[in-house]
Amino acid sequence: MLVAMRQLLDEAAKGGYGVGAFNVNNMEQIQAIMEAARETCSPVIVQASRGARSYAQDRYLYHLMLAAAELYPDLPTVLHLDHGNSYETCKSAIDMGFTSVMMDGSLMPDGKTPSTFEYNVDVTQKVVAAAHAKGVTVEGEIGVLGGIEDGHGAGGTGLEHVTDPEQAAKFVELTGVDALAIAIGTSHGAYKFSHKPDGAVLKMDRLIEIHNRLPKVHLVMHGSSSVPKELQDIINQYGGKLRPTWGVPVEEIQLGIRNGVRKVNVDTDNRLAMTGAIRKVLFETPEKFDPRDYLKPAREAMKQVVAQRMTQFGQAGHAADYQPIPLAVVAARYAAQ
């Protein structure tokens, strides 16, 4: 059953664990996540960006997710919109059956230009009203991620717009968001840090300050791929050209989870795993041309990364802890608040 993300995050807070949110663009990626979740008995957050929605087309994505919910009825599963850039984008996702949306009002609709606090509050309030009326969860963002290479971001190092705890508190109070994405120096894509990150570039102290100010708020860490050297090496060994780079170490994410992080966004690690597996097949057996010969190992490589993260974030073993609440019931609860 597709469920509201709020329920998964409330349960994660009770259990003191984090839930990975993995990006998808196609069937193989959805299959990889669902199989990893089955193997580890994990609740699931599948997320699609605007780019994913236009690549796959909304209807294909939605029906693939319905198939996943039908095939894995025992796994509470969320379909979440990643980085919605406007009210219209979020509304179309809600109307299509997404059970959670992110309104990223930290940026203007171009997905690049930092917005004002007032704009962010205003657009997020509108999305919260439309979403909660249907029982759909809303993630907002305060502070701006760095980088621009992949997906959303304002460029730079990620330290220019680190989240201010007081502004975060005001934002949550004014908007009523269910989860809050914060900026602590991370960015999207493979090139986050030029060395193993320390406190000068990855602001875990700021995250802890925000958690202490807002202990009940579900925090979201974007740009949380660890960019493991082993995955970089496979790509480069088989003809790829990645420059040396560092991501967010898993132990830092685990520190975040001990301090209020309930949703952890991972896309790049899965992209690296799939691409490495495909390169290996094409390099070692150049005579092959059946897509299944490389998509199957790619799917398996992604499944392994996702299962490992599910275990590391602590969600493994928690799929059967609770009964899914229908969205209509969730909507009635919001209305009664």
Binding positions for ligand G3H, rule: CB under 6 A: 23, 49, 51-52, 82-83, 150-152, 188, 267
Residue ranges binding Zn ion (CB under 5 A): 222, 265
Helix-then-strand count for the chain, H and E: 13, 8
CB of 284 to Zn ion, least distance (A): 34
Binding partner of 224, given ligand G3H, ligand 13P, Zn ion, none, CB within 5-8 angstroms per partner class: ligand 13P
**Closest CB to ligand 13P among 201 and 327?**
201
321: helix, coil or strand? coil
Ramachandran sector of residue 109 (left: φ over 0; alpha: ψ -120 to 50; beta: rest)? alpha
**Closest CB to ligand G3H among 15 and 51?**
51
CB of 224 to ligand 13P, least distance (A): 5
**Closest CB to ligand 13P among 79 and 327?**
79
Give the CA distances from residue 272 to residues 12, 127, 276, in Å, rounded to whole numbers and listed in that order. Answer: 28, 33, 6
Binding partner of 51, given Zn ion, ligand 13P, ligand G3H, none, CB within 5-8 angstroms per partner class: ligand G3H
Binding partner of 52, given ligand 13P, Zn ion, ligand G3H, none, CB within 5-8 angstroms per partner class: ligand G3H
Instruction: Fill in the amino acid letter for 91.
Output: K
Report the candidate in 156, 147, 163, 162 with the shortest Cα–Cα distance to residue 225.
147
CB of 284 to ligand 13P, least distance (A): 27
State the greatest distance between any 2 C-alpha atoms of the chain, in Å, as a whole number.
63
The 8-class DSSP code of residue 306 comes to H
To the query of whether residue 82 is one of the catalytic residues in this protein, the response is yes
**Closest CB to ligand G3H among 158 and 165?**
158
Instruction: Kindly name the residue from 74, 82, 95, 198 that is annotated as catalytic.
Output: 82
Burial class (CB within 10 angstroms; exposed 0-12, middle 13-18, buried 19+) of 195:
exposed
Q: Which residues are catalytic?
A: 82
